[in-house]
Chains A and B, each alone.
Chain A
Amino acid sequence: MEVRRKVIVITGLYISFTAAVAAIKPGNVPVPEFKNLKVLPKNISSKELSKIMVDEFQDDLGVSCNFCHAENKDSHRPDYASDEKPEKQIARYMMRMTIGINKKYFKLRHPMIGDSTLAITCATCHNGSPHPENMGTK
């Protein structure tokens, strides 16, 4: 009876271990949908990424995709992974700066671009313009 119980326990542990290993095998790890993300989370969903691109960049800066994203020379479509345009690097710098300001001065624990809790967003300075310094003050 005791031996039978041990066999059941060991079998159970083996099955659990095997399942756990299978779960972390490369083939089962979710492949990030988007390439070359350096500031935004690598596992960001399509909806979250689209919302950031539309709300933070298109609306808050008044720009379209190719303001930051280079064109693929063959397909003539935006090459979203490319770092060819300097504006993309500037956008990353700006996102880091925005996150930093929210963390340092507004004591937000894990601020992320697109969060509704942010105290400072792209719109705080840009307000619909790609270059806030050109908005002018009268």
Chain B
Amino acid sequence: MAEEKLIIKDKNDDGIDRAGFIKCMAWAGTGILWMMSGGVLKSFGLSQMIDKTTGGLKKGLVIPASDFSFVQISDSHIGFNKAANPDVVGTLQAAVEKINSMPTAPSFILHTGDLSHLAQADEFDTLDQVLKTAKSEKVFYVPGEHDVLNGNNKEFLARYGKGTKGDGWYSFDSNGVHLIGLVNVVNTAEGGLGVLGNDQLQWLEDDLKGLSNSTAIVVFAHIPLWAIYPQWGWGTRDSAQALSYLKRFGSVTVLNGHIHQTMQKVEGNITFHTATSTAFPQPQPGMAPAPGPMKVPAEKLRGLLGLTSVHYMEHDHTLAITDTPLAETAEKVGQ
């Protein structure tokens, strides 16, 4: 994509116009396709799968065989209108268009929180309208801290919490996989860390009791359940207890949002993965005074939204983005 085709009306002299921004978001990555095969989840950035000129699947792309697939999107922040992205509805729609371009509709969509920016009814309405156009049977949600602002999670629960427990946690089974939606944004700890709380931990322990060790488990929550950067609240205070309940299972995948960038870590049987936002990027851990919406030139979006590797060292742990581009995978499959 030639840069001169992107920036047409640069009113603010910041290298970004609306059309250019949306075009860049189209190749920058706004959703992740998860495929389950033999109890192992594999992730693919939707951007690598879609031909940006035709809007369809890239020519010659071979989709690996899978038992079923689902898509994770996150941090849509409907209602946000600052310079980092003045059109969050447009970029969410772009993500939905990518989902709808998949050759096989995903079984369901997981939204890992921050649907709204200010937890307002009209913001949730807008999100619902956009996601109604997605070709998928169902959308499952967990709240982000923006969905429960000022201690009010009633709006979220009324819309998305039917049949859930406590502050909205729940589990369900699909194609032999046990999926668990956790809520770690209602009680937050010092520094903005997530908290699951004793009631939810007790429920989780009970929920897992009847499952065999060979059951594939997918856990999804908003704030990461691994300590990515606790100084910015990018972790969950009592996640260790939750993870201890999951140790006996052979395949566990933990999906989160919140940090607006893709990171992945494998620790024993557990694969941790955070998703990009459909709204705006955030700085890499420790690379800014604090987390928050990051205004970037259009040509830098691709790097900052998680398509290239992020290397970060903390406490001798290396974190890296390891989403596998489907094109690359398809070539390997074909070898």
Q: What 0/1 readout, one digit per residue, does chain A (29-58) give for beta carbons within 8 Å of chain B?
A: 000001000000000001101110111001
The number of residue pairs between A and B whose CB atoms lie closer than 8 Å in the complex comes to 66
Give the number of chain A interface residues (Cβ < 8 Å).
28
Interface residues of A (CB under 8 A from B): 34, 46-47, 49-51, 53-55, 58-59, 61-67, 75-78, 80, 127-130, 135
24 A-B pairs with C-beta separation under 8 A = A46-B120, A47-B118, A49-B150, A50-B118, A53-B149, A54-B117, A54-B118, A54-B149, A59-B292, A59-B293, A62-B292, A63-B192, A63-B290, A66-B192, A67-B192, A76-B187, A76-B195, A77-B186, A77-B187, A80-B150, A80-B151, A127-B289, A128-B288, A128-B289
Are B151 and A78 neighbours in the complex by a CB distance under 8 Å?
yes
A50 contact set on B, CB distance < 8 A: 118-120, 149-150
Interface range on chain B (Cβ under 8 Å from partner): 20 to 34
Q: Which residues of B contact A (CB under 8 A)?
A: 82, 117-120, 145-146, 149-152, 186-192, 195, 197, 232-233, 288-293
Secondary structure call for the B interface:
loop
CA distance A2 to B36 in the complex (A): 89
Q: Which B residues lie within 8 Å of A77 (CB)?
A: 151, 186-187
Inter-subunit contact A47/B120 (CB<8 Å): yes
Contacts of A34 in B (CB 8 A): 150
Cβ–Cβ < 8 Å partners of A80 in chain B: 150-151
A33 → chain B, closest Cβ, in Å?
9
Contact A135 B289 (CB under 8 A): yes
Q: List 8 other contacts, CB 8 Å, given A62-B232, A63-B290.
A: A34-B150, A50-B119, A58-B292, A59-B292, A62-B292, A66-B188, A75-B187, A128-B288
Find chain A residues with CB under 8 A from B146 CB: 54
Residue contact B152 to A46, C-beta cutoff 8 Å: yes
Is the beta-carbon distance between B195 and A64 smaller than 8 angstroms? no
**Residue from A46, A51, A61, A67 with most neighbouring chain B CB atoms (10 Å):** A46
Query: A62 contacts which chain B residues (CB < 8 A)?
Result: 232, 289-292
Set of chain A residues within 8 Å of B151, measured between Cβ atoms: 77-78, 80
A59 to B82 CA separation, bound complex (whole angstroms): 11
Contact call A66/B150, Cβ cutoff below 8 A? no
CA distance A54 to B119 in the complex (A): 11
Measured CB to CB, the closest approach of chain A to B316, in angstroms, equals 26
Q: Which of A49, A55, A66, A78 has the most CB of B within 10 A?
A: A66
A76 to B189, CA, bound (A): 9
B290 in contact with A51 (CB, 8 Å): no
Minimum Cβ distance to chain A for residue B149 (Å): 5
Query: B186 to chain A: closest CB distance in Å?
Result: 7
Most A Cβ at <10 Å: residue of B151, B192, B232, B289: B289
**Cα–Cα distance between A135 and B288 once the two chains are bound (Å):** 10
Determine how close the nearest CB of chain B comes to the CB of A65; give it in whole angstroms: 6
- Nearest Cβ in chain B — how far from A97, in angstroms? 21
B residues less than 8 Å from A49 (CB atoms): 150
The distance in angstroms between the C-alpha atoms of A58 and B190, with both chains bound, is: 14
Q: 8 smallest A-B Cβ distances: which pairs? A: A62-B290, A64-B192, A129-B289, A50-B118, A128-B289, A50-B149, A128-B290, A59-B292
Chain B residue at smallest Cβ distance from A75: B187
CB-CB under 8 A from A66, the residues of chain B are 188-192
Q: Chain A residues near B82: list those with CB within 8 A.
A: 55
Q: Identify the closest chain A residue to B190 (Cβ).
A: A66
